[in-house]
Chains A and B, each alone.
Chain A
Amino acid sequence: MPPAAASLSSLRQLLATRFPQASRPAGGVLPTGIPSVDDATGGLPRHALTELVCAGASTGSQLFIAQLLAVTRALPARVALIDGADQFDPQSFPETDLSHLLWVRCRTPADAMPVADLLAREANLDLVLLDFVSCPLPGLRRIAAATWYRLQRAAEQTDLAFVVLTPATLVSSAQLRLQIDRALPLSALSVDRPHLAVDLDVSRQRQRLSVANG
C-alpha cells in the first residue's frame, strides 16, 4: 500500500474509533426482487446513493422502476419518483402500484436537484428514485460532484434507499453502482412484466458498502 493510502486508511480507522456514531454501519437493504441485483448486493442499500447506469435506449430502466414499485407496494413502503424529464407514464402501471408513489414532475435536471435534496432528508420515505435517463448528458455533467456528495450525506441521515438512474456514469458519491446495457427486443412487449423484471440483466460496477440483509 502506498504511504499516502496507508495514512488515509489509518486516519479513517482512527476516526471510526473516536466517533463511532459518525461511521454508521450498513443499515440494511431494500430487496428489489431482481435476482441479478439481490444475489450480488442483497438489494439497494439504505442510507446510501445507488447509481443505475442505463447505457443505451430501451434497456429497461422503466422496467426497473416498475419492479421497485411492485416490491415496495407489497412491503408496504413509500416511494418518491423525481422525474427529471417528466416521462413517467402512470397508464403503464397497475393502479395498485401507484398508490404509494409520490411523483414529482420536473422539467430539467436543474429543477430536480433541489427536490432531490429535500426528499433525501425525508424520513417518511423508504425509497427515492431520481430518473435522469432521458436528460441530455451535457446538462447532467454540469452537476457538480459536491452536489452528489451532499446528497449522499443527506441520505446517510435517513433510512431511505436513494437510486439515481443515469444515462452514463455520473454520481461520484454512489456507494453502489449498477449497470444495464442490454437493449430489450420488441418481443419483450408480449412477455409478462414480472418475468421480464426477473430476467433483467443488471451488473454491479462498484460497491463501497458491505451491505447485509436487513
Chain B
Amino acid sequence: MFAVLHVADFALQALLRTETALRGRPVALLDSSTRPPHLLACTDSARACGVHPGQTSSQALSRCASLRILTPRDDAETDANSGLLAAAFGISPFVEATAPGVYSLQIDGLTARRREPALREALDRLTALGLHATAGAGPTPLLALYAARHASPLLLIGSERAFLAPLPLAAADPPRELAAILAGWGLRTLGDLTDLPKASVAQRLGPAGLALWERAAGEVTRPLHLLVPPPAFSASMDCDYEMETLEPLLFLLRRFVDRLVIELQTASLAAAELTLSLKLADETMLARTLRLPEPSTHAEVLFNTLQTYLESLRTSTAVTGLQLDLTPIRVATRQQGLFDRALRDTHRFAETLARIAALVGSDRIGTPVLKDTHRPDAFTLTAPSSEIAPTNEPRAFVHPPQGLVLRRYRPPLPVLVEFSSDTRLPIYVRTAQSEGTVREVRGPWLASGDWWQQDQAWTREEWDIETNALYRLIRTPQGCFLEGEYD
C-alpha cells in the first residue's frame, strides 16, 4: 500500500508562505528559463482575473494590472521541502521524493484503521506550516499519486476501477500526439480508454499507447527510491529585502520552528539548544546560542525562547537573512524524588529569567553561591536550580547563624573617623549624609587574605559600631569605610 503527499503549485506555495504581504493578492510565478518566459503557476485571485499558467508576463499583466509576478526562490523551496519531508517521515520511514512537492510513501506498516488518521495528521501539520497539501492512498505509487491529485484533501482508493474510470485522460499524462489522436477517437476519460482492448491499443498506438493504457488502468507499479532522513535540524533564508522590525523576523522564525519541530518529533528527538544566526545588512553575522532549561519539542517553547531573546536585541543595521539550528538530544527520563520541589513550568521560568536579564543585565540575576574564601563580598551568581532538594528536619546548626544581617553598601561608604587616643577605638564618624557619636563599639577584628597574590591581597580592621544605627566600620589601606548597616 502506498500514499502520496502532494502540494500543488509547490514553488508558488513555498514562496507565498514566506511573504505575508502577498496573502490574498493576485500573484503569479514566472519561469524565466524559457523563451519567452511564461507563467508556471498563479493564485486563485489571479485566476479570477483571467490569468493562467502558460501565459507570458505581458499577457498576464494585460488581464490583471495588479498582478505581482515573482520568480522561484530556492531557499523558500528548500525550507518548504524540508517541512514536507518531515511530515512524510512522520507517517512512514519509507519515503521517496517523487517530484517537487510530491512525496510517495510505502505505508504497509500502517494498519488500515491508522492510515486515514496518520495522513490527516500530516496534512494538518503541513497546513500549520502554510502549505496546503492533499494526500491519497492506493495499491500502487501511481494510483496513490492520482488519488492525491484529485483529493480534497484526502482520498483513499477503495475500488480502483470506480476511481479511475471517470478521471479525464489528462490524469495519465498522455504524450501530446497521443492526446490528439485519442481526442479524435472521442475518448475523454481513463475509463473510455481502458474499455478498449489492451492489445488493440498497443497494436495501433505502439509502446507509448500501451504504457498509457497501463497507466490508465493503474497497472503500473515500481519500487520507491528511498530517502535517508536529514541528519541536521536547520533552517535558513536569505531575504531580498531588509527586515527592520521584529514582526517579519518572527514570522519567518515561526515557520522555521514549526517545521523543525516536526522533524524532531519524527526523529524522536528534542531540541536542547537553539542557535540563531542573523545576517545583517552591513555583511556581518550575529549569532547567539540559547540553551533551553529542558529539552523540548514544543513549538511554543522554542518560539517563545527566540522571541524573548529578539525582543531584547538591538542590531546596528537591518536583518537580511537568518539561520536557525537546533541541537538535537535524545531525552533522558528520570523519576523525581518524592519530596523534591521542581519548577511547575520550567520553560516559563526560563523565559521570565531571560526577560529580567534583558532588563537588569544577565550578570545581575541568579542564585548566589558563596566562594570558598574569607574575602568580603565574594560570591557568584548561578542559574537557579530546577529542583530544590528537601532539607533534613529539624534544622540543626552546629553553629547557628549569629546576629543581625548586613545590608552591604556597594561600594563601601567613605567615612571620616575620629579614634580615641587612649583606646584607639572609633568615637565619632561622619559620612557625606550623616554624622554621629559612636555610642557603643565592638572590635577591632583583623582580617587579611590572598597575601600570596600581590594584586589580590587584602587586609582590614573591622569594628561594629552603634550611632543612630548599627554599622560595620572597616579600615583598609585605602581608608575608612562603612561597609554596611546591620539590619
Contacts and interface: CB of A to CB of B under 8 A. Distances in A.
Interface string B305-321: 00000000000000000
A106 interface: yes
Nearest to B366: A103
A184 B381 contact: no
B471 to A, nearest CB: 8
A105 B487 contact: no
A95 B352 contact: no
B442 A189 contact: yes
Question: Among B367, B376, B397, B404, which residue has the most Cβ atoms of chain A within 10 A?
Answer: B404
Interface stretch (B8-16, B207-215, B244-252, B356-364): B356-364
Nearest to A65: B405
Instruction: Determine the interface band of chain B, counting residues with CB < 8 A from chain A.
Output: 35 or more
Nearest to A102: B384
B477 interface: no
B437 to A, nearest CB: 14
Interface in B434-487: 440, 442, 464-466, 468-470, 484-487
A201 interface: no
Interface stretch (B71-79, B191-199, B294-302, B342-350): B342-350
Contact of B404 (A60, A77, A87, A122): A60
A76 B393 CA distance: 11
A58 B365 contact: no
Nearest to A67: B405
B223 interface: no
B22 interface: no
Interface stretch (B167-175, B181-189, B407-415): B407-415
A77 B359 CA distance: 25
B405 A66 contact: yes
A78 B360 CA distance: 21
Contact of A118 (B355, B400, B401): B355
B345 A190 contact: no
Interface string B376-412: 1111010011001111010101001111111111100
Given A86-B410, A189-B403, A58 B364 contact: no
- Which of A59, A86, A91 is the most central at the interface, judged by chain B CB atoms within 10 Å of its CB? A91
A91 B400 contact: no
A147 B400 CA distance: 40
Contact of B343 (A62, A63, A124): A124
B367 A102 contact: yes
Contacts of A115: 356, 359-360
Contacts of B366: 102-103
B379 A193 contact: no
A94 B353 CA distance: 24
B341 interface: yes
A137 B80 CA distance: 58
Given A104-B356, A134-B407, A193-B401, A124 B344 contact: yes
B367 A62 contact: no
A74 B391 contact: yes
Nearest to B390: A76
A63 B404 contact: yes
Contacts of A189: 402-404, 442, 464, 470, 486
B367 A185 contact: no
B442 A186 contact: yes
Interface in A117-168: 118-119, 121-124, 133-134
Contact of A192 (B400, B442, B465, B487): B400
Nearest to A56: B469
B485 A57 contact: yes
Interface in A54-111: 54, 56-63, 65-66, 70, 73-78, 86-96, 98-107, 111
Contacts of B395: 70, 74
B304 to A, nearest CB: 14
Taking chain B's interface residues, is the majority helix, strand, or loop, or is none over half, making it mixed?
A: mixed
A88 B408 contact: yes
A28 B393 CA distance: 23
Nearest to B339: A76
A16 interface: no
Contacts of A87: 407-410, 484
A112 B384 CA distance: 19
Nearest to B439: A186
B487 A133 contact: yes
B367 A98 contact: yes
Which has the most chain B C-beta neighbours within 10 Å: A54, A77, A115, A190? A115
Contacts of A59: 487
Nearest to B470: A58
Contacts of A123: 344-345, 348
Given A186-B440, A186-B470, A89 B405 contact: yes
B229 interface: no
Nearest to A187: B440
Contacts of B407: 61-62, 87-89, 133-134
A62 B486 CA distance: 8
A194 interface: yes
A114 interface: yes
Interface string B261-300: 0000000000000000000000000000000000000000
A183 B439 CA distance: 14
Interface of A: 54, 56-63, 65-66, 70, 73-78, 86-96, 98-107, 111, 114-115, 118-119, 121-124, 133-134, 183-186, 188-194, 196
25 contacts: A57-B468, A58-B487, A62-B486, A74-B393, A76-B390, A77-B388, A78-B384, A88-B408, A90-B368, A92-B406, A94-B401, A98-B367, A98-B368, A98-B370, A99-B367, A101-B367, A103-B366, A105-B364, A118-B359, A123-B344, A123-B345, A124-B344, A192-B400, A193-B405, A194-B400
Please provide the 10 A-B residue pairs with the shortest distance between their CB atoms, ordered closest to farther.
A57-B469, A62-B405, A189-B403, A90-B368, A89-B408, A105-B364, A62-B487, A76-B388, A58-B469, A186-B466
Given A58-B485, A87-B407, A124-B352, 5 more contacts: A56-B469, A103-B368, A111-B360, A123-B348, A189-B470
